[in-house]
């Protein structure tokens, strides 16, 4: 029994010895250089350190670019806020004709010309040559045109009311002129009555002439009889 255990231990030691030998051979054949002795043959640690240095340099550059971009963004945001106020004041001036101080501007509409950097100069009142004109006159504010449109609309409504009243009067006059009992009908009736009257006058003319002749003769005979009576009275 003791011999068997001894043999087993010997066998195990021999097996482990072969395993450790193979491990030693493998490590020797595939050994890794962690720290290089020269710069031409850097080790793993040297390569990782070089990579760390490169990443740190890239990080510093990215951080510097980020800080510069963030600073530019802050400047752009500040400029954007100023330009928003400027364009809001410009729009208000176009609508009301007043500048940011509430003063009335005679020519509130200007051409916005960008400079070389692409931005428009923030001037509320531009140059006289940049005033937008229409038919030789500067454009006025929107409120002025809206007020004029409202006035014209009121005038149009009043004129429309007058036109409606005149059309109604025209209809009444047309009815009075051309209606069943209108002036034209009355004129036709008068013409017809005049025609009948003239016809009756022509019909009675001969009879009137005869009556007039008879009356003349009777008057003449009456006169002669009066003269005869006067002579007889004188002869008594």
Report pLDDT for 153.
93
CA atoms within 13 A on the CB side of 233: 6
State the residue range of the domain holding 97: 43-140
Q: In angstroms, rounded to a whole number, what is the distance separating the alpha carbons of residues 99 and 93?
A: 5
235 located within any domain:
no
Report pLDDT for 231.
78
**Based on the domain organization, do 47 and 135 belong to the same domain?**
yes
Mean pLDDT in consecutive groups of 10 residues from the start of the chain, 236 residues: 75 84 72 63 70 84 90 88 86 84 82 78 78 83 89 94 93 85 82 84 80 83 81 70
159 located within any domain:
no
Angle, CA 148 vertex, CA 146 and CA 154 arms, to 5°: 105
166 located within any domain:
no
Q: In angstroms, rounded to a whole number, what is the distance separating the alpha carbons of residues 217 and 223?
A: 10
Report pLDDT for 199.
82
**Based on the domain organization, do 136 and 183 belong to the same domain?**
no
Q: In angstroms, rounded to a whole number, what is the distance separating the alpha carbons of residues 5 and 11?
A: 10
Q: What phi and psi, each to the nearest 5 degrees, are found at residue 108?
A: -85, -10
For residue 104, the SS3 value is strand
17 located within any domain:
no
Show which of 85, 118, 140 is a domain's final residue.
140
Total number of domains constituting the chain: 2
16 located within any domain:
no
Report pLDDT for 30.
63
133 located within any domain:
yes
Report pLDDT for 124.
78
DSSP run (H or E) holding 137: strand 137-138
Report pLDDT for 120.
78
Q: In angstroms, rounded to a whole number, what is the distance separating the alpha carbons of residues 218 and 229?
A: 16
In eight-state DSSP terms, residue 120 is B
Give the pair of three-digit tokens for residue 40: 């031409």
82 located within any domain:
yes
3-state secondary structure 32-96: CCCCCCCCCCCCHHHHHHHHHHHHHHHHHHHHHHHHHHHHHHHHHHHHHHHHHHHHHHHHHHHHH
State the CB neighbour count (10 A cutoff) for residue 52: 10
Report pLDDT for 42.
64
Report pLDDT for 207.
81
Cα torsion 183, 184, 187, 189: sign? negative
* pTM of the predicted model over 0.85: no
């Amino acid at each position: 029994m003791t011999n068997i255990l001894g043999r087993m231990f010997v066998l195990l030691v021999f097996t482990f010895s072969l395993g450790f030998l193979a491990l030693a051979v493998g490590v020797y054949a595939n050994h890794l250089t962690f720290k290089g002795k020269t710069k031409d043959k850097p080790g793993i640690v040297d390569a990782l350190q070089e990579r760390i240095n490169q990443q740190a340099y890239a990080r510093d550059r990215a951080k510097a670019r980020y800080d510069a971009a963030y600073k530019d963004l802050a400047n752009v945001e500040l400029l954007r806020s100023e330009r928003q106020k400027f364009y809001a004041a410009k729009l208000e001036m176009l609508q009301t004709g007043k500048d940011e101080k509430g003063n009335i501007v005679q020519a509130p509409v200007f051409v916005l010309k960008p400079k070389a950097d692409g931005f428009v100069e923030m001037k509320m009142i531009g140059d006289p040559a940049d005033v937008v004109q229409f038919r030789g006159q500067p454009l006025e504010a929107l409120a002025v045109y809206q007020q004029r449109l409202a006035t014209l609309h009121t005038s149009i409504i009043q004129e429309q009311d007058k036109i409606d009243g005149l059309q109604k009067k025209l209809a009444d006059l047309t009815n009075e002129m051309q209606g069943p009992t209108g002036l034209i009908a009355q004129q036709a009736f008068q013409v017809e009555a005049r025609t009948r009257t003239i016809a009756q006058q022509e019909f009675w003319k001969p009879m009137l002439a005869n009556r007039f002749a008879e009356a003349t003769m009777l008057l003449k005979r009456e006169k002669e009889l009066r003269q005869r009576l006067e002579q007889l009275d004188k002869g008594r």
